[in-house]
Amino acid sequence: MSGKSLAQTRLFTEMVAQKQGWVLNSDRDFCETLVEGLASNFNRYGYFLCPCRDTNGSRDADKKDICPCQWSRLDVPEHGHCYCALYLSRAFAASGKEPSGIPDRRESK
Ligand code: SF4
């Protein structure tokens, strides 16, 4: 398994945002911390496990928590950002609001 560098992981987050029609959190230091978490998870587990969640023990069990997680498709439209607040909807970003803590949908699955 080849690892991911921070640059590769940063690019991955940019591509996810572009593909989904989202934008990255404008707080670059915050994004960089999450990029480090994603890269670290990839290099540990072999996939981009959400940097804000613990593993369930296997790739299969973590399937819904691989970035962009299944929950983000609901959270971004409803709350304006994903659970980690790495990705924001364009409307939320334009509003100038700050992301806040949102419930983890994984807990209610
Ligand atoms: S909450 Fe979902 S979309 Fe946001 S960083 Fe974590 S895995 Fe990615």
Check pocket membership of 24 for ligand 1, CB cut-off 6 A. Answer: no
- Please give the distance, rounded to the nearest whole angstrom, from the Cα atom of residue 70 to the centre of ligand 1: 9
Structure tokens at 104: 């983890």
Residues comprising the chain, all counted = 109
The pLDDT tens digits of the residues spanning 95-105 come to: 999 999 999 99
Residue nearest to atom 2 of ligand 1 (CA): 69
Judged by DSSP in three states, 91 sits in: helix
CA distance readout (Å), 22 to 11, 17, 64, 74: 14, 5, 19, 13
Q: How many CA atoms lie within 13 A of 104 on its CB side?
A: 9
The pLDDT tens digits of the residues spanning 31-80 come to: 999 999 999 999 999 999 999 999 999 999 999 999 999 999 999 999 99
Instruction: Write out the H or E segment, with its range, that includes residue 35.
Output: helix 28-45
Judged by DSSP in three states, 75 sits in: helix
What domains, with CATH codes, occur in the chain?
6-108 (3.90.460.10)
**Range 3-11 average pLDDT:** 97
With cut-offs at 50, 70 and 90, classify the pLDDT of residue 2. Answer: confident
- Please give the distance, rounded to the nearest whole angstrom, from the Cα atom of residue 3 to the centre of ligand 1: 20
Q: Which of 9, 82, 109 for mutating ligand 1's site (highest number of atoms within 8 Å of CB)?
A: 82
Measuring CA to CA, which residue among 45, 80, 86 is closest to residue 68?
A: 86
Backbone dihedral angles phi then psi of residue 24, each to the nearest 5 degrees = -80, 150
Q: How far apart are CA 104 and CA 64, in angstroms?
A: 12
